[in-house]
């Protein structure tokens, strides 16, 4: 698929999404349109898989009559194979195209009665059947309640059942016209389109966007950092994974990832992350996304990861319960992050989960670099005792949706190649401004990665600071303490300025004299006192 075709697919899907725009806000119609796209993807994937199984018998899955004895037998055989391979199943009558055709009143309606094109009940049943097809199998957790946010009874879809049905049918019919071309192995193209939609929804969701989406340039930066010295990852983890976009970006940058792990607090976003994994053709056995509060109830605490990436909610609240003083993630530090700012608690959690030879990159607000009290104590312990902080990277302000605050990326490694220093990079002035948002371009990202790998001093951009220098600064990591970005002002020639003032005064006197002469000819008083000679 060409780049132009890729853009066309993205635009087609966005145009269909806008069918729902007038009915609800961005995060609400996001859940519907992404859910319907996901249903179409699952449908086309199972149909393609079944057709391959039935090719020798010259049968097409969509044409099977599951109500006949022979048809039911074949469908059951396909189901047994599909659930093992794909993790789920749909019957021929449940395929997206069949439902869309019914909604568009294009099926043979002879035995369908007066409600032949009413699809809401059918659609709700089918989505539930997809989930139930996995019960008792290895994929059950990955499909459980996956479509719960597609509330087809919601009044936001319409005031009446007829209106709701008409709107949903319209969306499905439009989607049905788009060929996802799965036979051409274009899962990445469809995945890119899905990511594009998520990004578009995030840009319109304001502050809420930070709950589920990391801007793609930031995701790319983190992904390049954690794979810069190891592109074959056994395990990859994001403790605040949102829609899963950051994890998928790392998978793209790596040569290979055995298994992806993530945890997400918000139920809707958790569902979106699982859909995103499957739609990007990540096999159900190759990811493990859990829904829970990571700090309070970590779901993967016994595992250690080769790469960890995260964009935790900035300065989130957490319990900071004294019970955590006996938790291995926090106990060695002797202090807990404040309940009003969980930033350092997330860092402690991730450092605990990081493998000895792993790399971790996390986006945080600038305050973690210099705030004192418990956070200062934790920061000092990370540097002085564990010595795992490898680099501090300052990012431009206003690159995240919903907040304009400047942020930083901290890179951690337990077994560091340079244990006697920490690299500081000031990339805060390296960006392009697009409307009201600052954007990191590929050149900006690559410059950061190159500086991280080179680990050298570059005037006004990067500096390697010894641990002694950092200790002398009382473990304050504020970047201007180490990267001198001071721009000397151009020297002012006072003698030249004095000559300019004299010339201006002379011009002013000449102008006054000219005006006074005109006023005398007109027989009126000048508009100023004539005092100059």
At 347-396, the pLDDT tens digits run 999 999 999 999 999 999 999 999 999 999 999 999 999 999 999 999 99
Tell me which of 95-99, 161-165, 470-474 is least confident.
Answer: 161-165
For residue 487, tell me if it sits in a domain: no
Say if residue 497 is in the same domain as residue 461: no
For residue 427, tell me if it sits in a domain: yes
How many helical (H) and strand (E) elements, i.e. helices and strands, does the chain have?
A: 16, 11
For residue 172, tell me if it sits in a domain: yes
Say if residue 103 is in the same domain as residue 183: yes
Say if residue 116 is in the same domain as residue 210: no
pLDDT at 209: 43
Say if residue 384 is in the same domain as residue 499: no
Write down the pTM of the prediction. Answer: 0.85
Say if residue 440 is in the same domain as residue 508: no
Say if residue 112 is in the same domain as residue 237: no
Do 149 and 114 contact (CB within 8 A), yes or no? no
pLDDT at 310 over 50: yes
What is the band of 288 on the pLDDT scale with cuts at 50, 70, 90?
Answer: very high
Other Cβ atoms closer than 10 A to 41: 21
Higher pLDDT, 489 or 168: 168
Q: Mind listing the pLDDT tens digit for each residue in 384-426?
A: 999 999 999 999 988 886 677 889 999 999 999 999 999 999 9
For residue 486, tell me if it sits in a domain: no
Say if residue 93 is in the same domain as residue 123: yes
Do 526 and 515 contact (CB within 8 A), yes or no? yes
User: What do you get for the CA distance between the two ends of the chain, in Å?
Assistant: 82
pLDDT at 113: 40
pLDDT at 220: 95
Distance (Å, whole) CA 439 – CA 154 = 37
Do 34 and 194 contact (CB within 8 A), yes or no? yes
Higher pLDDT, 28 or 516: 516
182 token code pair: 């799965």
The residue-averaged pLDDT of 36-63 equals 93
- Write down which residue in 148, 175, 203 finishes a domain: 203
Say if residue 259 is in the same domain as residue 382: yes
pLDDT at 143: 94
pLDDT at 340 over 70: yes
The residue-averaged pLDDT of 85-94 equals 95
pLDDT at 210: 46
The SS3 call for residue 379 is helix
For residue 460, tell me if it sits in a domain: yes
CATH number of the domain that residue 124 is part of: 1.20.1260.30
Express as a percent the part of the chain with pLDDT over 70.
89
What is the band of 247 on the pLDDT scale with cuts at 50, 70, 90?
Answer: very high
Q: Mind listing the pLDDT tens digit for each residue in 201-229?
A: 766 554 444 455 688 899 999 999 999 99
Going through 270-353 in order, the beta strands assigned E by DSSP cover 287-291, 305-310
The per-residue DSSP string of 239-257 comes to TT-TTSHHHHHHHHHSSEE
- Write down which residue in 437, 460, 481 finishes a domain: 481
pLDDT at 207: 46
CATH number of the domain that residue 383 is part of: 3.40.50.150
Across the chain, what does the average pLDDT equal? 88
Q: Mind listing the pLDDT tens digit for each residue in 96-136?
A: 999 998 887 744 444 444 455 689 999 999 999 999 999 99
For residue 10, tell me if it sits in a domain: yes
What is the band of 77 on the pLDDT scale with cuts at 50, 70, 90?
Answer: very high
For residue 441, tell me if it sits in a domain: yes
- Write down which residue in 437, 455, 481 finishes a domain: 481
Distance (Å, whole) CA 437 – CA 414 = 35
Distance (Å, whole) CA 147 – CA 275 = 9
Say if residue 302 is in the same domain as residue 238: yes
Distance (Å, whole) CA 449 – CA 225 = 6
Say if residue 468 is in the same domain as residue 531: no
Place of tokens 């069918």: 19
Cβ burial 390-421 (10 Å sphere, 16+ → b, else e): bbbbbbbebbbbebeebbbbbbbbbebeeeeb
The residue-averaged pLDDT of 519-530 equals 79
Number of domains present in the structure of the chain: 3
Q: Which residues contact 210 (CB under 8 A, 6 or more apart)?
A: 311, 313, 314, 400, 401, 402, 403
Say if residue 212 is in the same domain as residue 133: no
pLDDT at 49 over 90: yes
The residue-averaged pLDDT of 76-86 equals 95
pLDDT at 21 over 70: no
Say if residue 500 is in the same domain as residue 375: no
Q: State which residues form the domain around 171.
A: 3-203
For residue 488, tell me if it sits in a domain: no
Distance (Å, whole) CA 204 – CA 17 = 13
What is the band of 524 on the pLDDT scale with cuts at 50, 70, 90?
Answer: confident
């Amino acid at each position: 698929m060409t780049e132009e075709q890729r853009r066309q697919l993205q635009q087609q899907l966005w145009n269909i999404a806008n069918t729902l725009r007038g009915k609800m806000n961005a995060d609400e119609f996001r859940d519907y349109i992404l859910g319907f796209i996901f249903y179409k993807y699952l449908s086309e994937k199972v149909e393609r898989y079944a057709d391959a199984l039935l090719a020798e018998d010259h049968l097409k899955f969509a044409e099977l009559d599951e109500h006949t004895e022979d048809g039911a037998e074949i469908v059951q055989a396909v189901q047994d194979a599909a659930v093992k391979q794909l993790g789920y199943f749909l019957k021929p009558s449940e395929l997206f195209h069949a439902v869309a055709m019914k909604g568009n009143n294009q099926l043979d309606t002879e035995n369908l009665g007066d409600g032949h094109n009413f699809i809401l009940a059918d659609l709700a049943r089918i989505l539930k059947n997809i989930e139930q097809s996995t019960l008792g199998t290895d994929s059950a957790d990955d499909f459980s309640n996956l479509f719960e946010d597609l509330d087809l009874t919601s009044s936001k879809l319409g005031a009446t059942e007829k209106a709701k049905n008409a709107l949903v049918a319209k969306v499905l019919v439009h989607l049905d016209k788009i060929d996802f071309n799965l036979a051409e192995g274009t899962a990445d193209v469809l995945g890119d389109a899905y990511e594009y939609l998520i990004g578009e929804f995030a840009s319109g969701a304001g502050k809420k966007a930070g709950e589920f989406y990391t801007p793609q340039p930031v995701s790319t930066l983190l992904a390049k950092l954690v794979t810069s010295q190891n592109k074959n990852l056994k395990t990859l983890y994001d403790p605040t994974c949102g829609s899963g976009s950051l994890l998928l970006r790392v998978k793209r940058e790596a040569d290979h990832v055995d298994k992806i792990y993530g945890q997400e607090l918000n139920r809707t976003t958790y569902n979106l992350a699982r859909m995103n994994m499957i739609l990007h053709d990540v096999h159900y056995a190759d990811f493990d996304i859990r829904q829970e509060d990571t700090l309070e109830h970590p779901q993967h605490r016994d595992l250690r990861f080769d790469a960890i990436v995260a964009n935790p909610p900035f300065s989130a609240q957490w319990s900071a319960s004294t019970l955590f003083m006996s938790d291995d993630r926090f106990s060695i530090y002797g202090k807990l992050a404040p309940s009003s700012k969980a930033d350092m608690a997330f860092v402690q959690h991730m450092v605990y989960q990081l493998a000895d030879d792993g790399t971790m990159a996390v986006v945080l607000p600038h305050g973690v670099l210099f705030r004192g009290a418990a956070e200062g104590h934790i920061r000092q312990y990370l540097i002085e005792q564990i010595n795992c902080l490898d680099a501090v990277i300052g990012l431009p302000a206003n690159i995240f949706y919903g907040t304009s605050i400047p942020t930083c990326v901290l890179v951690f490694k337990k077994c560091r190649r340079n244990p006697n220093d920490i690299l500081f990079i000031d990339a805060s002035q390296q960006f392009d401004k697009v409307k009201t948002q600052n954007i990191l371009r590929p050149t900006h990202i690559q410059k950061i990665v190159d500086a991280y790998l080179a680990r050298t001093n570059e005037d006004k951009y990067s500096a390697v600071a010894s641990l002694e220098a950092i200790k002398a600064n009382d473990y304050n990591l504020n970047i201007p303490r180490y990267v001198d970005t001071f721009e000397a002002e151009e020297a002012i020639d006072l003698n030249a300025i004095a000559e300019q003032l004299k010339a201006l005064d002379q011009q002013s006197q000449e102008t006054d004299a000219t005006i006074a002469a005109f006023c005398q000819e007109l027989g009126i008083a000048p508009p100023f006192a004539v005092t100059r000679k």
